[in-house]
């Protein structure tokens, strides 16, 4: 689903927000099926409830929905929930899979009335398919071009009224016309610790794991605001509890396990730490452009920007400024370093405003 480069980097990463090989199966078991089961995101949930309920009352498919936010926050889960709440079938595809407009036309013409069409990574859709989508979203119609050159004709084809659910980790990369055609955009935020605590307890119950409240709170706190990570840490801590203890997850077991897996106090992953270290050690704390920073850690700029930075910003470690990325004093301290004496008062301070 993601770039190979991205998946490769994270292949052995306990902390990555991206799904790991073979993880999709477990994720399916743990996926909430209904809005009421979906923890957190109160704003998006309430907005969605209204959109869905009003459509249900009017007996029409709801407006097209765009879900935007960093990996692992529940976009795919929500898309499935939308279909389940509407009692509708869901067809699933992704931006990169829709390289030719013909692929999309085939998909669209197979939709039944009220179906949900889920396009993951919709910002990566190819241009011709995107243009076809405009008309489909607006008028439930596609123009199929037959023939080539001056003799080419376009045949309008009606499609059944449907609801498009798009997911993106980069809403900024969507073109204006595409974004405008969504009636509702749900902006997913990182989860609060107490919400992730509920996610961990729910997953424990489903997987039959015995866990102490202090332990689930600890896992939640170190999960980078991301349910995918809290579910994964839970499974790693369970492994430890089974092999090195009596199977029950206590706070001590949790701490010892997270130590083994090299999960730091804040739950930052290897790439997060590499970015901070490069910023602080190679560039004196910044400001430095994101592409330069990406080269320094051997990653694609988009990975640094979409996977790594959002959480570093939210954790107060990194600031995005017009002149580039800047490490906060907290970042130096987190790496066990002391910022220069006037740090944050000279060059960088004006940037934090
Ligand atoms: N609100 C939630 N409540 C409980 N579990 C959740 C919630 N959100 C996500 N999860 C768990 O996290 C896993 C990952 O969620 P999901 O696949 O929906 O994320 P995503 O935003 O689509 O990620 P990506 O951008 O990588 O596609 C799910 O399998 C589910 O177990
Ligand atoms: Mg997804």
With contact defined as beta carbons under 8 Å apart, do 159 and 108 qualify?
A: yes
pTM higher than 0.75, yes or no? yes
- For 216-247, give the DSSP string: HHHHHHTSTT-HHHHHHHHHHHHHHHHHHSSS
> In CATH, which of 1.10.10.10, 3.90.1170.50, 3.40.50.150, 3.40.640.10 is domain 270-352?
1.10.10.10
Confidence of residue 23 (pLDDT cuts 50, 70, 90): confident
Determine the atom of ligand 1 nearest the C-alpha atom of 40.
1
Domain ranges of the chain: 24-187, 191-260, 270-352
DSSP at 282: I
Domain topology for 191-260: Helicase, Ruva Protein; domain 3 (1.10.8)
Q: What is the pLDDT of residues 42-83, one digit of tens each?
A: 999 999 999 999 999 999 999 999 999 999 999 999 999 999
Nearest-CA residue for atom 24 of ligand 1: 71
Class at the top of the CATH hierarchy for domain 24-187: alpha beta
| Structure token digits, residue 211 | 């866990």
Is 148 labeled as catalytic in the residue annotation? no
Confidence of residue 1 (pLDDT cuts 50, 70, 90): very low
Is 120 labeled as catalytic in the residue annotation? yes
- Residues framing ligand 1 (Cβ under 6 A): 18-19, 27, 30-32, 38-40, 71-77, 167, 169, 199, 227-228, 231
């Amino acid at each position: 689903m993601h770039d190979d480069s991205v998946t490769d980097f994270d292949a052995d990463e306990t902390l990555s927000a991206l799904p790991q090989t073979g993880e999709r199966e477990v994720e399916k078991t743990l996926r909430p099926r209904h809005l009421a089961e979906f923890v957190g995101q109160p704003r998006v949930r309430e907005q969605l409830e209204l959109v869905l309920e009003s459509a249900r009352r009017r007996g029409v498919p709801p407006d097209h929905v765009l879900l935007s936010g960093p990996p692992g926050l529940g976009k795919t889960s929500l898309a499935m929930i939308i279909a389940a709440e509407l009692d509708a079938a869901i067809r699933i595809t992704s931006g990169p899979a829709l390289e030719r407009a013909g692929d999309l036309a085939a998909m669209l013409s197979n939709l039944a009335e009220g179906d949900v069409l889920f396009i993951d990574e919709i910002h990566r859709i190819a241009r011709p398919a995107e243009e076809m989508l405009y008309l489909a979203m607006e008028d439930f119609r596609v123009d199929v071009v037959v023939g080539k050159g001056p003799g080419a004709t376009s045949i309008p084809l009606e499609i059944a009224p449907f609801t498009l659910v798009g997911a993106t980790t980069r809403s900024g990369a969507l073109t204006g016309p595409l974004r405008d055609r969504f009636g509702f955009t749900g902006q997913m935020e990182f989860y609060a610790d107490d919400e992730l605590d509920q996610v961990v307890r729910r997953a424990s119950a489903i997987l039959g794991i015995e866990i102490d409240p202090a332990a689930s709170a600890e896992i939640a706190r170190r999960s980078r605001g991301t349910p995918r990570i809290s579910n994964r840490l839970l499974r790693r801590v369970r492994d430890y509890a089974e092999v090195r203890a009596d199977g029950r997850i206590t706070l001590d077991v949790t701490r010892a396990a997270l130590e083994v897996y090299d999960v730091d106090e804040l739950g930052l992953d290897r790439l997060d730490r590499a970015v901070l270290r490069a910023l602080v050690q190679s560039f004196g704390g910044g400001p430095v452009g994101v592409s330069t920073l990406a080269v320094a850690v051997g990653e694609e700029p988009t990975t640094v920007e979409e996977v790594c930075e959002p959480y570093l910003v939210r954790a107060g470690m990194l600031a995005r400024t017009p002149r580039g990325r800047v490490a906060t004093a907290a970042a130096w301290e987190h790496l066990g370093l002391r910022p220069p004496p006037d740090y944050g008062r000279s060059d960088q301070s004006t940037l934090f405003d």
